Amino acid sequence: MDGTARIERAIEAALERSAGRGSPPQLATAMRYAVFPGGARVRPRLCLAVAEACGDSEPKSSESMASAIEFLHCASLVHDDLPCFDNADSRRGKPSVHMAFGEPLAVLAGDALIVLAFETLAHGLPQAPGRLASLLMTLARASGMPSGIVAGQAWECEPNVSLSEYHRQKTGALFVAATVGGAIAGGGAPEQWRRLGECIGEAYQVADDIKDLVADRAVLGKPLGQDAANGRPSAVGQLGLRGALTRLEGLLSEAMEAIPPCEGQTELRGIIRAQATRLVPKELATAAA
Amino acid sequence: MDGTARIERAIEAALERSAGRGSPPQLATAMRYAVFPGGARVRPRLCLAVAEACGDSEPKSSESMASAIEFLHCASLVHDDLPCFDNADSRRGKPSVHMAFGEPLAVLAGDALIVLAFETLAHGLPQAPGRLASLLMTLARASGMPSGIVAGQAWECEPNVSLSEYHRQKTGALFVAATVGGAIAGGGAPEQWRRLGECIGEAYQVADDIKDLVADRAVLGKPLGQDAANGRPSAVGQLGLRGALTRLEGLLSEAMEAIPPCEGQTELRGIIRAQATRLVPKELATAAA
């Protein structure tokens, strides 16, 4: 079974458990709405690819970790879209969760997806208790304080922001959890895989900043992106557009070099190369230059 | 060291970790504000008391579980107080978290406290991996879907509510986690302790419903409580005031009888008796009758 099919199956199984006997039906529906149809499932695919490169000796462990990371990502999207943050009406081409279900169920759907991430680990790893402790800590560090995605989002409420801390926590943390967690779950050496997650995470964030500005210029004909409008820290704001594009290229090369020698090295490089072309569509990069 | 001191020390240590290097300072302050000064810390005290009754063979495990349960409780209070739910201006005699720090930081403080609960387990139990899997599952079940406190809160968004499901999830779940989790952490037989948690949890919720109505009558001189005003399901609404008081007494007697034979039985009965007198102040019960 390929990675995508394994991920979708594991995510489906976890959501079915969460909608079990006694559950309030609207919250169950809102959670499913937040998770399906998915985006590119980049983080869980990366997690599984690293686990496979390390031998994937406990497939249920790597699938659990991959799904858990995706649930945390979906939870963060639901809460980031709330009126008190981005006030986003739509997400992935459909109304955002609070637009479709109301604000109370959006808050609770995010909460429940955070918990589901940890429940998924607990459910998938009782046979590998040694790995459970490391994976649980990796997941908790990537999601909470002092350095996970929740911490990252909180920098938007601070008067003085470190751009690198903000990027590392808000975007990098889950990519690091994907590579480090994939290595733990697959039986590899986790620290060898950290730098790869850091590079991909930072590349994603820089690419997002670029897209935000360029798409805005192209579509709306105004020079101010949503990041600037929302007062969010941005790589483009700090480095300029050309500087940000250079930084992005540098990060992607570094990511390629950060892959440790392993059996699936060629395949992993392929995944990263494919993602890289998706990060900034060529016409946008050209238009910007 | 007595139970309360052990709990406060463990909670303090976890909050210090969460405010570590690189953390956004305002979120760290908001989390601390949500946790200190605490309420009666009833759930973690119950957890430790059960662990002690079971021998408390791994004190760090029981302290971690007790703190984790308290963090989940505090998280639920922060999110329940939000404008889209109870819109509560104050809590424990001071402004609620969103009144003091704004809505974005209140959403994030709740999120971060949920994660901190799981991080606390991961941090405290690497030496007891066998117990970690059971405690993690117990904690996840008590907090998320289909039957934890988040599920319980979501019943307030449903058109048709089962009062017993609502109470069992919203209040009972964390009390059951306290007794069952205390037994797991302490090395006892968890299922023997489930009924005790269920009875105390339901008693708490019924007592809350009674206080809500009676306090309102006394203070505001109107027959409608906040539960009714907010459209919340209520034992008083379903059973009437006399019926609710009878139910409360029945639950407390059942709780006493549900304590399995153990060394600390007398002490545990004492804790429950002390809590029972706090549940409904005598003058309110009398005024109501």
Of the candidates A103, A129, A168, the beta carbon closest to that of B129 is on A129
In this predicted structure, what is the pLDDT of residue B223?
43
Helix (H) or strand (E) holding B226: helix B226-229
| pLDDT level of residue A241 (50, 70, 90 thresholds) | confident
Inter-chain touch B156–A23, beta carbons under 8 Å: no
Q: Do A110 and B112 touch (CB under 8 A)?
A: no
User: Does A287 have pLDDT greater than 70?
Assistant: no
| Rounded distance between C-alpha atoms, residue B63 and residue B171, angstroms | 21
What pLDDT score was predicted for residue A213? 78
State yes or no: pLDDT of A286 exceeds 70. no
Provide the token pair at B21.
């290097």
Task: Say whether residue B37 is in contact with chain A using an 8 A CB cutoff.
Answer: no
Say whether pTM exceeds 0.80. yes
| pLDDT for the residue numbered B98 | 98
Distance from CA of A149 to the nearest CA of B (A): 9
**What percent of chain A clears pLDDT 70, i.e. is strictly above it?**
89
Choice between B215 and A243, residue whose per-residue pLDDT is larger: A243
Helix axes A59-80, A129-143, angle to 10 degrees: 20
Lowest mean pLDDT among A49-63, A149-163, A211-225: A211-225
Confidence at residue A25, expressed as pLDDT on a 0 to 100 scale: 96
**Taking a contact as any Cβ pair under 8 Å apart, which residues of chain A between 129 and 148 contact chain B?**
129-130, 132-133, 136-137, 139-141, 143-148
CB–CB of B136 and A139 under 8 A? no
Q: How far is A240 from chain B (nearest CA, A)?
A: 25
Q: What is the DSSP letter of A224?
A: -
Closest CA to B114 of B146, B83, B63, B69: B69
**∠ CA B158-A95-A45, rounded to 5°:** 100
Distance from A28 to chain B by nearest Cα, in Å? 8
What is the Cα–Cα distance from B145 to B169, expressed in whole angstroms? 9
What was the pLDDT predicted at B218? 55
| Sign of the alpha-carbon dihedral angle for B112, B115, B121, B126 | negative
- Whether residue B85 lies within 8 A of chain A, CB to CB, comes out as yes
Q: For residue B24, what is the DSSP state?
A: -
Architecture per CATH, domain A3-288, reads as: Orthogonal Bundle (1.10)
Answer yes or no: do B158 and A26 touch at CB < 8 A: yes
Of A85, A112, A130, the CB nearest to B145: A112
> Looking at residue B33, what is its pLDDT?
98
Window 204-263 of A: residues touching B by CB (8 A cutoff) are none
User: Which residues in chain B are contacts of A145 at CB distance < 8 A?
Assistant: 18-20, 23, 27-28, 31, 112, 115-116
As given in the structure block, the two tokens for residue B216 are 């309102």
Lowest mean pLDDT among A279-283, A285-289, B118-122, B257-261: A285-289
The per-residue pLDDT for range A168-208, each reduced to its tens digit, is 999 999 999 999 999 999 999 999 999 999 999 988 888 88
Q: How many residues does chain A have?
A: 289
ipTM: 0.92
User: What one-letter code names the amino acid at B91?
Assistant: R
Out of B116, B133, B151, the one facing A145 most closely (by C-beta) is B116
d(CA A73, CA A114): 9
A21 touches chain B (CB under 8 A): yes
Pair type for strands A90-91 and A94-95: antiparallel
pLDDT at B225: 55
Nearest CA in chain A to B126: A133
Using CA coordinates, name the residue in chain B closest to A141.
B119
pLDDT of residue A285 exceeding 60, the answer is no
**A51 neighbors A138 (Cβ within 8 angstroms):** no
Q: What is the pLDDT of residue B220?
A: 47
| Alpha carbons B47 and B32: distance in angstroms, whole number | 22
Nearest to B145 among A31, A140, A143 (CB): A31
Per-residue pLDDT tens listing for chain B (289 residues): 688 999 999 999 999 999 999 999 999 999 999 999 998 899 999 999 999 999 999 999 999 999 999 999 999 999 999 999 999 999 989 999 999 999 999 999 999 999 999 999 999 887 677 789 999 999 999 999 999 999 999 999 999 887 778 889 999 999 999 999 999 999 999 999 999 999 999 888 888 888 877 765 555 444 445 666 566 667 788 888 889 889 888 998 999 999 998 877 887 888 777 777 777 666 555 544 4
Predicted confidence at residue B115, as pLDDT, reads 98
Tell me the chain A residues in contact with residue B18 when contact means C-beta distances shorter than 8 Å. Answer: 144-146
A97 touches chain B (CB under 8 A): no
Q: How many CA atoms lie within 13 A of A115 on its CB side?
A: 31
| DSSP label of A95 | E
Q: B265 CA to chain A: closest CA distance, Å? A: 32
B19 touches A at CB < 8 Å: yes
Choose among A103, A132, A147: nearest Cβ to B84. A103
Query: Contact A150/B111, CB-based, under 8 Å?
Result: yes
pLDDT at A244 over 70: yes
A260 secondary structure, DSSP code: P
CA distances in angstroms from B176 to A69, A121, B149, B250, listed in the order given? 28, 21, 11, 18
String of DSSP letters for B78-138: HHHTSTTTT--SEETTEE-HHHHH-HHHHHHHHHHHHHHHHHHHHHH-TT-HHHHHHHHHH
